[in-house]
Amino acid sequence: MLVTMPRAIWHGSISFGLVSIPVKLYAATSRKTVRFNQIDTRSGSRVRQKRVSDADGTEVPAEAIAKGYELASGQYVIVSDDELAALDPEASRTIELLEFVDQASINPIVYDSAYYLAPDEATVKPYALLLQAMAAADKVGIARFVMRGKEYLAAIRPDAGTLVLSTMLYADEIRGADEIPELEAVARAEVSDKEVAMANQLIASLDADEFDPAAFQDTYREKVLELIERKAAGEEGLVEAPVPVEASKVIDLMAALEASVAAAKAARGRHPTGHEAGDDVGDDVGNGSDAVPTRKPAARKAAPKKSAATKPAAAKAPAKKAAGRTRKSA
């Protein structure tokens, strides 16, 4: 089987004081989803899209298309690619480290996409120096850089022998929880100590100590691929739609909590994964409760770190086309 090596999507350098460290940027994730094309059911051919003018409906050639910012309805300011590139040419190839902060001070909600930073062959030592220094200080570097015509705020942290860069959202891109009107009632809700204790018992029954990403899988994508395989093999592939589970209002909170604890313990007893069936603190939980995600009955161990070149085994596809990029696009 031919293994495709990852390709760098950006080249530049990390600016660390007076030290400049040439680096390459590699995507740390690979979306595994099924992509569908639009098909004309009358002929079975692909449906193509054309760029047409709002003015007269005629097709617009690529060379006549420019970027325009809408000031008001129907009024645009045209900006060229050269004008955008000239705004900050120096920053386009530099990751500028601005400050170092504690990991705990960063709200995870600001993280966006993750990338691996790799050194050039001739600059391994300064890269290793920065990596080891950050690991020893237990700090995260806050940086900014330009990629594909956009300036990003980023967090750089050491992880398993490499520097990982995560792009971050800016403060004005984060919505405050105070914008959600339903949350106002939460502060006024009265919860008894007994209810809190029962909820803590439910949490303990579902405790898994460490998160193991390999214990979870995209079951919806697998079902979509299985459906495609059946239809490609000549089967009709009709699937019975599952009966939707309606979220009912909680009438007796304590009764619901007690039933949830019992269901979690029963599920753990059917699928032992590290603790004895009678332990108060549970491990991986099977399908005993609708509120519990489907997990593989794997032993309790943290999954080994994967390198950037290692890919998880993908579900078998029926055709030569690779799976696409959205998680739930049926």
* Mean pLDDT of all residues in 59-68: 90
Instruction: Give CA–CA dist 64/52, Å, rounded.
Output: 11
Q: Using one digit for the tens of pLDDT, what is the confidence trace for 218-247?
A: 888 888 888 888 888 886 655 555 666 666
Domain annotation for the chain: domains and CATH numbers: 10-33+86-170 (2.40.290.10), 192-239+251-302 (no CATH)
pTM metric for this prediction: 0.61
- Would you state the structure tokens that stand for residue 15, as one six-digit string? 């600016």
Identify the pLDDT of residue 194. 86
Report which of residues 170 and 241 the model is more confident about: 170
Identify the pLDDT of residue 322. 38
Q: Using one digit for the tens of pLDDT, what is the confidence trace for 183-213?
A: 888 888 888 888 888 888 888 888 888 777 7
CA angle 66, 70, 73 (to 5 degrees): 125
Instruction: Give CA–CA dist 226/317, Å, rounded.
Output: 8
Identify the pLDDT of residue 121. 81
Q: 110-124, 164-178, 302-316: which has the minimum mean pLDDT? A: 302-316
| Residue 171 CB neighbour total at 10 angstroms | 8
- Would you state the structure tokens that stand for residue 296, as one six-digit string? 């593989």
CB 324 within 8 A of CB 35: yes
* Mean pLDDT of all residues in 176-180: 84
